[in-house]
Chain A
């Protein structure tokens, strides 16, 4: 499960990056909006100055022509009631100051009567605005066909604190909400993607497990079929001679009866004619052989029971792999007999943590394959070797059969790949063996030379670590 999650976070990482980038963009946009709003405030200030100037131009035309400024000064004073204004200046066409109203920050406006001449701007437009650090300055030209005077209006070049705070607060609030909702939507989206993909992977794994299980089951049935044929054959022989011997024994008893019922003086002659001495010797042999036959059947049944019991274990237990190998060999004996001789060279193996039934299935598969690799009519040799090191055990099944050609060698572990006749092999044996060994955390290796033989090597860890690999 842990692997799953880390795997998915890896997949989600780019999405997180995109989320961060989006949040960053949102912040940049927020800042831009703030600046724009701030500029709008500036523009408002310019506009106000312009409007006031235009009003003053209109109001100044008559007084300038009539050289009467008293009424105009009342109007200028009225304009100065706007607290953002720093000063209003009125000049005649040459720039001679006619009236100047000023206000220092926080104070009341007052008239200044210093006679002075200011430099008037050279301009065609009626109104020109400019700003420096302290003021926004607006020049207005009083024009009645010719220039009769100038109005200069100066406003403090600073934004109202209250406005700015309001603006900041609103921008922050909106940007924050926007970022939060964006992150929330992205989060929901990522969460969904994560769960959908995790669930999909889990379902996929479950389906894969089921498919593997079905394959294991069908191959088990196939090897069960092979095994049943082998066991039937193994039981045939002893049952055949035991029942035949019992028939003979019945006839022997009839002869015993004849001898028993015979008049004493004729017994010797009768015994002679019936070869009674030979018969008496043979009865012991008959009984001994019959007992052997019954014992043989008993052993076979015992082996089958062992096999059934280990097959019932579907979880990891500590098992003696070599005992399993012996049982498997007993069961495969009939199939091996006319194909190959089996030579064992077994090392000392520790108990291995495994699913014994599955390992037996792998070994049975390798041994039966080795026997089937023998060319028709040749009695081959199968060598089975085992050994162990500190961490793992290995089992090697070597045959001196036909061998596997290079192009085929790469395919032998593929499901449904088979070179056997239809009905002989399912093409699943090696594929499933490979799966089983892999689930045990081991390896199944093969090397082969055409005409010389093939060697399969199963390596299994003594301690099983991958507990996810259920049978």
Chain B
């Protein structure tokens, strides 16, 4: 599979964050690339969404009330191991995120503030990894 043959419109991406402006900008950016984007404003809402609908990639914020990103992606990895998991994190202490990557709970993490290109590249490589 080459870069050219990557067809974003085949993939469903779920973005999870408690900050609506972030969800809005992620949706905008991913939609422009052609992805099918849906959003959830909490870990619980994300799980409800995943029960109803298939998701190829889930991108979740780390710091959220009640269920944080790590807990959510941990649950996802158990119930939907085929869904690729990306973590967006704003904390300076990244040991927990590194550990989660090492244990395979998440595919990769991206630091906030993120670069669109970096996020897209990570997303694409995650999807290729899954396809391979």
Contact = CB atoms under 8 A, between A and B. Distances in A.
Interface stretch (A173-181, A284-292, A442-450): A284-292
B19 interface: yes
A251 interface: yes
A236 B64 contact: no
Contacts of A245: 25, 28
B24 interface: yes
Interface string A240-259: 11111101100110000000
Contact of B91 (A229, A235, A292): A229
A232 B92 contact: yes
B19 A237 contact: yes
Contact of B21 (A236, A293, A379): A293
A235 B90 CA distance: 9
Instruction: Determine the main DSSP class of B at the interface with A.
Output: loop
A79 B18 CA distance: 134
A338 B68 contact: yes
Best-surrounded residue of A245, A248, A292, A341 (most CB of chain B within 10 A): A248
Given A239-B113, A241-B21, A338-B64, A233 B32 contact: no
B116 interface: yes
Interface string A321-351: 0000000000000100110010000000000
B6 interface: no
Interface in B101-132: 112-116
Contact of A282 (B28, B63, B91, B114): B28
B29 A244 contact: yes
B71 A248 contact: no
A240 B71 contact: no
Nearest to A232: B92
A238 interface: yes
Contact of B25 (A233, A241, A337, A341): A241
A377 interface: yes
A247 B24 contact: no
Given A232-B92, A239-B113, A337-B65, A248 B22 contact: no
B5 interface: no
A285 to B, nearest CB: 7
Interface string B57-96: 0000001111110010000000000000000001110000
Best-surrounded residue of A236, A239, A247, A252 (most CB of chain B within 10 A): A236
A399 B90 CA distance: 26
B25 A289 contact: yes
Given A236-B90, A241-B22, A337-B63, A251 B32 contact: yes
A233 B90 contact: yes
Contact of B63 (A235, A240, A244, A334): A334
A240 B32 contact: no
Contacts of B63: 233, 334, 337-338
B97 interface: no
A247 B116 contact: yes
A285 B68 CA distance: 28
Nearest to A245: B25
Contacts of A239: 113
B40 interface: no
Given A240-B114, A292-B21, A379 B28 contact: no
Given A248-B32, A379-B65, A243 B113 contact: yes
A116 to B, nearest CB: 131
Contact of B24 (A235, A243, A285, A341): A285
Instruction: State the 3 A-B residue pairs at the shortest beta-carbon distance, nearest first.
Output: A240-B113, A241-B25, A236-B112
Interface of A: 229, 232-233, 235-245, 247-248, 251-252, 282, 285-286, 289, 292-293, 334, 337-338, 341, 377, 379
Interface of B: 18-19, 21-22, 24-26, 28-29, 32, 63-68, 71, 90-92, 112-116
15 contacts: A229-B92, A233-B90, A233-B112, A236-B112, A236-B113, A241-B22, A242-B25, A247-B29, A248-B28, A248-B116, A289-B21, A334-B90, A338-B65, A338-B66, A379-B66
